[in-house]
Amino acid sequence: MKYRDNHHDLKFADSSEAKGYWLNPNTKFNVEEPPRQLRANDRFDNELFKKFLSRYLGALPERSFPLKTRNRLIIGLGGKGTLEMGITLHHLYGFPYIPGSALKGLARSYGINIIAEMFEIPHLSGEDLLRIKEDKNLPKPPLQILDRLLELPLDEKAPRVQYQEQLVAINSVFKDQLKNSPYLSSDSAIHEYSLDEFINSDIFKGFRAIFGTMGHAGDIIFFDAFPLTIENIIVAEIMTPHFADFYQQKKLPNGEQPIFPSEDQSLHPLVYLAVREGTPFAFCLSSRQKDKKDSFLLKSAKNWLYKGLRDFGLGGKTSSGMGLFSK
């Protein structure tokens, strides 16, 4: 296991140490001289990984399904480490993996977009979103309102008075914010539904059952996704910001005028680690219940997750084509 100590010298730790901390800047060991320079992917223990993967796949309650990266994948780019940019590594074994929370978030995001499309709730342009971000008095984006509506607690078994209070709270979001949103056209499909019709629609109830709300946990479990091989899995990626002074919002020596983009600004190449394209991962979802209803929910969740991985991508730099998966 290799890492940088306080003096940024490369060190080699004893093999009995947890292998997931080789990029952690706060890890301290009593170590000797390093045997070689730090190189990506030369310290993974293949035999240990194979044993772990066999145990893990055998313990899953459902059958996993494999997908491979169409391009390079970077999870945890904003995390801290000895390198300038981070990567998510398993805390015990040190190989890259995808947390189940990230997969659940991706599937949920895809599901919200499906519901928005069904009820003709529009996406806003980048210009509109920027304007809303800068002016807090402007109405919230319709998708943000829909997101909140989908997670509000609604206990159908609560006493009638409490249930009515919940409906009033949800109605303030549904009617006052969503249906009256200036970003929605007057003939949008959402206007055809009353509050009762909307919250009792199959897609609305199914979404809340899958992902849960602020009042209860979801019925579907999203497990961490692990690579099926770690052979040459890590590669070096590079990103070169051209206008660093502009992006850092620096100002001219007079302290008043901002620095604008110009070709005379120094380049700042940033090297970071990514997962190689073509790497297969094992994905698995499971239901907390074993009835027919949850079987349908499980199929829906798998479908949203697969399409999210295929169309949206996961992790950093998805706008550049990274993080996409295929069969």
- Each of the 327 residues of the chain gets a pLDDT tens digit; together they read 443 444 444 444 444 455 665 566 665 555 555 555 545 444 678 888 999 999 999 999 888 899 999 999 999 887 766 676 788 888 888 899 999 999 999 999 999 999 999 988 888 888 888 888 888 888 888 898 899 889 887 776 677 777 777 778 788 888 888 888 888 888 888 888 888 888 888 999 999 999 998 888 899 999 999 999 998 898 988 887 777 666 666 666 666 666 666 666 677 788 888 999 999 999 999 998 877 666 889 999 999 999 999 999 999 889 888 999 999
Looking at residue 124, what DSSP letter applies?
A: P
Using only the alpha carbons of the chain, give its radius of gyration: 24
The per-residue pLDDT for 184 is: 86
Helix then strand count (H, E) for the chain reads: 9, 10
Q: Report phi then psi at 183, rounded to 5.
A: -85, -5
How, if at all, do strands 226-227 and 234-239 pair?
Answer: unpaired
The closest of 68, 88, 20 to 282, measured between CA atoms, is 68
How, if at all, do strands 2-4 and 65-69 pair?
Answer: unpaired
The per-residue pLDDT for 251 is: 64
Is this prediction's pTM over 0.75? yes
Q: Report phi then psi at 281, rounded to 5.
A: -120, 150
H-type alpha helices, 135-274: 142-151, 160-171, 195-199, 202-211, 244-247
Q: Are 233 and 279 in contact (CB under 8 A)?
A: yes
Q: Are 93 and 45 in contact (CB under 8 A)?
A: yes
The per-residue pLDDT for 165 is: 77
Residues linked to residue 239 through DSSP beta bridges, in sequence order: 270
- Interatomic CA distance for residues 255 and 194, integer angstroms: 55
For tokens 């209070």, what's the residue? 165
CA distances from 87 to 10, 20, 193, 305, 310 (A): 18, 11, 45, 22, 21
The per-residue pLDDT for 153 is: 79
